[in-house]
Amino acid sequence: MGFPGNSSVNTDVQRGGSVTIPCHYGHQYRYHVKYWCKGYTWSHCTTTVRSNSTQSKGDVFITDVPDQLVFYVTMRNLQEKDAGWYWCGVGTGSPQYEISSHYITISTGTKKVRTESWRSVERGASVTIPCRYDRQFKHQVKYWCRGKAWRYCTTMVRTASPQSKGDVSITDDPGKLVFNVTMRNLQKENSGWYWCGVETPFSRTENDLTALYLLVTGEETHTTRRDGENRWTPA
């Protein structure tokens, strides 16, 4: 590939804020060096950090978790100059294969809602995500949606209706200026980008939502019953 495409992830970060980007890779790259580089194309991007030597540079850090087949890149104190295309990549002595591309934008406005940038949860477990907001949005409808981009994320639950859908529920606590989203019985397919959002009378903007990446970990193990029937059970 080498060029940004439809699979690219667009992440908006408040100026001065932080973000953690998960980069997933296949088993064949488990022992390869992991790279984070910046540039419009993969072939001409400049390596910022790598997992085998320069694991941090300024406010950028990289952490590889081979058991989960993912490495994380954390960028702190982001400024306008940090906006642009970034790439997750792997290689042996130098970057060889791109894993994914990410476009980071820096917002100078005020976010209406705030939460953590990522959360890791074991398969089959539950998680509750707190989404905090300012007092002027105390009586606004809050929502939780899923998707790579804030413009096109699909609303799953709202504090107006429905407040629960399947294993996902939302509860607003205006007294503490926070709404909580609970997801139960999480599976691998639940991994992905989610957004805390506040509805306003105006068209949706990037400041109405804040992104969180949810990673569901834990392998499925193939076991055999005594009667010879096969089944899948959590590791």
Q: What is the pLDDT of residues 53-74, one digit of tens each?
A: 767 888 999 999 999 899 999 9
| Cβ pair 143, 170 in contact under 8 A | yes
The matching CATH number, chosen from 3.40.47.10, 2.60.40.10, 3.40.50.300, 3.20.20.80, for 113-217 is 2.60.40.10
**4 vs 20: CA distance, rounded Å:** 20
Q: With cut-offs at 50, 70 and 90, classify the pLDDT of residue 231.
A: very low
Give CATH 2.60.40.10 domain extents, the chain: 9-107, 113-217
Q: Which token pair is 129?
A: 């995500």
| Cβ pair 118, 214 in contact under 8 A | yes
**137 vs 39: CA distance, rounded Å:** 38
Q: What is the pLDDT of residues 134-171, one digit of tens each?
A: 999 999 999 999 998 888 899 999 999 778 999 999 99
Q: What is the pLDDT of residues 22-52, one digit of tens each?
A: 999 999 999 999 999 999 998 889 999 999 8
3-class DSSP state for residue 61?
A: strand
| Cβ pair 90, 32 in contact under 8 A | yes
How far is C-alpha 215 from the chain's CA centre? 8
State residue 7's pLDDT score.
53
| Cβ pair 133, 198 in contact under 8 A | yes
The candidate with the shortest Cα–Cα distance to 66, out of 30, 32, 22, 92, is 30
Say how many residues make up the chain. 235
Burial grade of 230 (CB within 10 A; 0-12, 13-18, 19 or more):
exposed
The candidate with the shortest Cα–Cα distance to 206, out of 216, 191, 214, 196, is 196
The matching CATH number, chosen from 2.60.120.10, 2.60.40.10, 2.40.160.20, 3.40.50.970, for 9-107 is 2.60.40.10
The tally of CA atoms less than 13 A away on the side-chain side of residue 217 is: 13
